């Protein structure tokens, strides 16, 4: 395979790691906490043994040391809450919540403190905290380790939420999240983190503004809206549709809260049909939210009702054949696109 | 070694149970390496802990496990055929293939589920003890958790509840020295889990978890107390996980081979075998024959699992609710 001159392809994990490293170099108030983010608890001769369960924080401990890079005990309520307090008093903590399903252990700290302190205290306190969490099914990990849970966080006023969809957006969104003065949740899909590097990632630092969606593929017949991993699925579906002679536009949501309503509405106004693809549980979800937005603001333009492609209303199964039915795939998206284009 | 008089039958049951755990885990690892499950948390090295505890339990007593729970299940008498089928995600598995390696459950056998959220099983186990007390039974509840889980807030809330209500529960911390790559002496302030019991008005006992006879003794007293209405006990069993945390984890990234060798030299299965031979309870030939039988049982379970069908696609949306309309 020939790579274009000037194209720098790195993996999602490398891109995320690079953003974190850059920000720690630039700003001494940035610190990192989480389980095994260095590994081995700093044991001599074994420093940086893990660099995080997904290796997102590899190399930080040797460069920045034990004060700014901390392995934590398995005490999510404790260390996420400590992240809130440290943020309120002058640091910019970046804290790993390994898998998003573990939110339950520390939900109080996220939703009652991080989300509300700025508001309750009359805007006098800022919580520049970044929490990143692994999401998604498809890894044979069963119901507690495969959730997505976007809408749970988006629901809370005061929390910002972003879902990168590739290495480029992983880097730019993480940098923007760390620099943001509000608490931001960054959702890292596990399947995306395992994909082969694709697309250019600039070496220099850059921000992708929180609150802006992007069109990753222009089209005129139907809008496919993806969130994180499902953007990848939408791209595959769009390629299939193109082979059939349809022109699909793919909108990559990127930012879940705030959400780029204008980008959604104007794409739908152009294509007049929309398929929203979301890996989260279907009830009270991003897909439902976007569908309502389209119904309210682009109703007169629609040739067909908005169509959602989601898993069924069930927990994530362990057994692989069942799990394969659970996660939306490109065939589901192509079928839904046919439905709305008919 | 042990002051309690143990009959031969019980000793041989314990040995067979520990062999079954070891052989099951070895085979499960092979199935994982063959790609039939993504990976699993192996309990090789920790056989003595649930064996020395569960030998005191009845079917009606409940145990609660963790992400690393195959050994708990086997010690509580679960059918390894159904367990292996569950690992492979088959319809014949303990959980119909829906839960997998981290969530094996068998209510009839008193295994109320392995839990993938660290610490999350502890208050639920406390609830089972509450039920035993409210209904005036002499049943007990046992919760297994790791040294890592000892740092979750719910352990402290649950121990306090059990302490104030004198619930019939045994908190069993399997201190295998690591939570993923994190050494317990880094993560546990004061370096003792057992000492924390003092704050919750219950005995806290550290025991050599590489010796099933030692675990047997300490757990026997804890179960007796619980059944008699004398309240909870915290046991910290000092043990060791031989394999990596999960799947492909290489433990030499965070610990030395010397340390591993030190613990493997005190292997719980080998120790018990030596004890049985020294005390003329069984000959080496008899014990090796038992191992052969166990290997055949594990092979049979593996055949059963591999030959079983996957769940029907309709199972994707069943069991979400008892009823829903
Ligand atoms: C609430 C929660 N946090 C983190 C994890 C990820 N995790 C799974 S096992 C594990 C280590 C557990 O260590 P320990 O309790 O000592 O049990 P062991 O693995 O040694 O059996 C971690 C951090 C999890 N499953 N749940």
Domains of chain B: 8-303 (3.40.50.970)
Mean pLDDT score of chain A, rounded to an integer?
97
The finding on whether B236 has its CB within 6 A of some atom of ligand 1 is no
Determine if ligand 1 sits within 6 Å of the CB of residue A74.
yes
3-class SS at B145?
strand
Residue A95: how many other CB atoms lie within 10 Å? 27
Give the pairing type, strands A92-99 and A30-34. parallel
What are the pLDDT digits (tens) for A77-127? 999 999 999 999 999 999 999 999 999 999 999 999 999 999 999 999 999
Q: Which residue of B has its CA nearest to A145?
A: B116
- Domain A214-341 falls under CATH 3.90.1300.10: no
CB B305 within 8 A of CB B84: yes
Q: Decide: B159 and B202 in contact? Cβ < 8 Å.
A: yes
- Each residue of A235-244: pLDDT tens digit? 999 999 999 9
d(CA A228, CA A189): 7
pLDDT at A198 over 60: yes
pLDDT of residue B325: 84
Query: So what's the pLDDT on residue B39?
Result: 83
Model confidence at B1, pLDDT cuts 50, 70, 90, reads very low
pLDDT tens readout for residues B26-66: 999 999 999 999 989 999 999 999 999 999 999 899 999 99
**Which positions in chain A touch B185 (Cβ < 8 Å)?**
41
pLDDT tens for A40-80 read 999 999 999 999 999 999 999 999 999 999 999 999 999 99
SS3 B90: coil
Q: DSSP strand E in chain A: where?
A: 30-34, 69-71, 92-99, 130-135, 160-162, 184-189, 214-217, 222-226, 248-252, 255-257, 274-277, 307-309
- CA of B44 from ligand 1 middle (Å) equals 17
Residue A1 has pLDDT above 90, yes or no: no
A36 and B180: CB-CB below 8 Å?
Answer: yes
Interface test with A, best of B35, B116, B146 (most A CBs within 10 A): B116
Instruction: For ligand 1, say whether the CB of B68 is within 6 Å of any of its atoms.
Output: yes
Q: Is A71's Cβ below 8 Å from some Cβ in B?
A: yes
Rounded mean pLDDT of B229-256?
97
Mutate to test the interface with A, among B69, B316, B320, B325 (most CBs of A within 10 A): B316
User: What's the complex ipTM?
Assistant: 0.96
CB-nearest partner of B311 from A46, A76, A322: A322
pLDDT, position B248: 85
Verify cis geometry, omega within 30 degrees of 0, for the bond prior to B273.
no
The per-residue pLDDT for B247 is: 86
Q: What is the CATH number of domain A7-193?
A: 3.40.50.970
How far is Cα A72 from Cα A79, in angstroms, rounded to an integer? 7
For the question of residue A200 being annotated catalytic, the response is no
pLDDT bracket for residue B2 (50, 70, 90): very low
**For chain B, how far is it from start to end, CA to CA, in angstroms?**
60
Domain spans of chain A? 7-193, 214-341
- Taking residue B272's Cβ as centre, other Cβ atoms within 10 Å add up to 24
B199-211 mean pLDDT: 98
**In chain B, which residues touch A (CB < 8 A)?**
37-38, 89-90, 95, 97-103, 115-120, 148-149, 151-154, 179-183, 185-188, 253-255, 310-311, 313, 315-317, 320
Residues 6+ apart with CB under 8 A from B31: B37, B84, B87, B88, B302, B305
Q: Which residues of A touch B37 (CB under 8 A)?
A: 140
Summarised one tens digit per residue, pLDDT across range B261-300 is 999 999 999 999 999 999 999 999 999 999 999 999 999 9
Tens-digit pLDDT profile for residues B85-142: 999 999 999 999 999 999 999 999 999 999 999 999 999 999 999 999 999 999 999 9
Pick the atom of ligand 1 nearest to B120's CA.
Answer: 1
**Closest C-alpha residue for ligand 1 atom 8:** B118
pLDDT confidence tier of residue A5, bands split at 50, 70 and 90 = low
pLDDT digits (tens, 9 = 90+) for B147-192: 999 999 999 999 999 999 999 999 999 999 999 999 999 999 999 9
Do residues B47 and B85 make contact, with C-beta atoms less than 8 angstroms apart? no
Q: B50: Cβ–Cβ under 8 A, 6 or more apart, which residues?
A: B21, B63, B71, B72, B74, B75, B76, B144, B172
- Cα(A34) to ligand 1 centroid in Å equals 12
Residue nearest to atom 7 of ligand 1 (CA): B118
Put simply, whether the predicted model's pTM sits higher than 0.90 gets the answer yes
Q: What is the pLDDT of residue A52?
A: 98
User: Can A7-193 and A214-341 be said to share one CATH topology?
Assistant: yes
Give how far B88 is from chain A: nearest CA, Å: 7
Number of A–B residue contacts, CB under 8 Å: 146
The tokens describing B107, both together, are: 């209510």
- Say if residue A149's pLDDT is above 90: yes
B118 lines ligand 1 (CB under 6 A): yes
So what's the pLDDT on residue B299?
98
Smallest CA-to-CA distance from A137 within B207, B100, B314, B308 is with: B100
Any ligand 1 atom below 6 A from CB of B90: no
- Give me the pLDDT at residue B264, please: 98
Q: How far is B118 from B109, CA to CA, in rounded Å?
A: 23
Considering only the beta carbons, identify the residue of B98, B115, B117 that sits closest to A317.
B98
DSSP conformation letters of A243-267: HTT--EEEEE--EEETT-HHHHHHH
In chain A, positions 23-62, which contact chain B (CB-CB < 8 Å)? Answer: 35-36, 39-43, 46, 49-50, 53
Residue A292 has pLDDT above 50, yes or no: yes
């Amino acid at each position: 395979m020939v790579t274009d001159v000037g194209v720098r392809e790195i993996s999602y994990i490398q891109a995320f790691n690079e953003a974190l490293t850059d920000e720690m170099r630039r700003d001494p108030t940035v610190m990192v906490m989480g389980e095994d983010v260095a590994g081995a608890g700093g044991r001599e001769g074994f420093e940086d043994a893990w660099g995080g369960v997904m290796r997102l924080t590899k190399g930080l401990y040797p460069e920045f040391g034990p004060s700014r890079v901390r392995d934590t005990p398995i005490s999510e309520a404790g260390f996420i809450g400590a992240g809130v307090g440290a943020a309120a008093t002058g640091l910019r903590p970046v804290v790993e919540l390994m898998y998003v399903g573990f939110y339950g252990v520390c939900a109080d700290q996220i939703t009652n403190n991080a989300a509300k302190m700025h508001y309750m205290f009359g805007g006098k306190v800022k919580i520049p905290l970044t929490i990143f969490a692994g999401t998604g099914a498809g890894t044979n990990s069963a119901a507690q380790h495969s959730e997505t849970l976007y809408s749970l966080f988006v629901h809370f006023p005061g929390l910002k939420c972003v879902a990168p969809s590739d290495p480029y957006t992983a880097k730019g969104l993480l940098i923007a999240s760390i620099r943001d003065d509000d608490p931001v949740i960054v959702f890292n899909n596990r399947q995306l983190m395992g994909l082969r590097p694709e697309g250019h990632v600039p070496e220099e630092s850059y921000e992708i503004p929180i609150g802006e969606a992007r069109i990753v593929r222009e089209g005129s017949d139907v809008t496919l809206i993806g969130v994180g991993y499902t953007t990848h699925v939408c791209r595959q579906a769009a390629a299939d549709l193109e082979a059939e002679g349809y022109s699909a536009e793919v909108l990559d949501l990127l930012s879940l809260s705030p959400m780029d309503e204008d980008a959604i509405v104007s794409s739908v106004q152009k294509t007049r049909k929309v398929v929203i693809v979301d890996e989260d549980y279907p009830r009270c979800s991003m897909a439902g939210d976007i569908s309502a937005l389209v119904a309210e603001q682009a109703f007169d333009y629609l040739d067909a009702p908005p169509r959602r492609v989601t898993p069924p209303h069930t927990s994530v199964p362990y057994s692989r054949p069942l799990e394969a039915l659970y996660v939306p795939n490109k065939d589901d998206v192509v079928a839904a696109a046919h439905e709305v284009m008919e | 070694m042990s002051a309690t008089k143990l009959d031969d039958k019980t000793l041989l049951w314990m040995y067979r149970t520990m062999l079954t755990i070891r052989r099951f885990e070895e085979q499960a690892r092979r199935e994982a390496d063959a790609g039939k499950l993504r990976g699993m948390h192996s309990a090789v090295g920790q056989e003595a802990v649930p064996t020395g505890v569960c030998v005191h339990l009845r079917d009606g007593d409940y145990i609660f496990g963790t992400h690393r729970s195959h050994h708990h299940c086997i010690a509580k008498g679960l059918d390894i055929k159904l367990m292996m089928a569950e690992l492979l995600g088959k319809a014949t598995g303990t959980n119909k293939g829906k839960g997998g390696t981290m969530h094996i459950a068998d209510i009839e056998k008193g295994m109320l589920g392995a839990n993938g959220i660290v610490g999350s099983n502890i208050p639920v186990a406390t609830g089972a003890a509450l039920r035993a007390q409210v209904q005036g039974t002499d049943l007990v509840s046992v919760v297994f958790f790791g040294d890592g889980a000892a740092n979750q807030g719910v352990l402290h809330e649950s121990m306090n509840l059990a302490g104030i209500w004198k619930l019939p529960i045994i908190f069993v911390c399997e201190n295998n020295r690591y939570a993923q790559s994190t050494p317990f002496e880094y993560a546990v302030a004061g370096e003792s889990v057992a000492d924390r019991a003092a704050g919750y008005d219950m005995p806290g006992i550290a025991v050599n978890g590489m010796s099933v006879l030692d675990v047997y003794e300490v757990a026997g007293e804890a179960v007796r107390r619980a059944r008699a209405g004398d309240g909870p006990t915290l046991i910290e069993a000092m043990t060791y996980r031989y394999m990596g945390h999960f799947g492909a984890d290489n433990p030499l990234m965070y610990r030395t081979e010397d340390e591993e060798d030190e613990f493997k030299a005190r292997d719980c299965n080998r120790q018990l075998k030596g004890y049985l031979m020294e005390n003329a309870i069984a000959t080496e030939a008899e014990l090796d024959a038992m191992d052969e039988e166990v290997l055949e049982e594990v092979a049979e379970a593996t055949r059963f699992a591999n030959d079983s069908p996957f769940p029907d696609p309709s199972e994707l949306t069943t069991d979400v609710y008892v009823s829903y309309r």
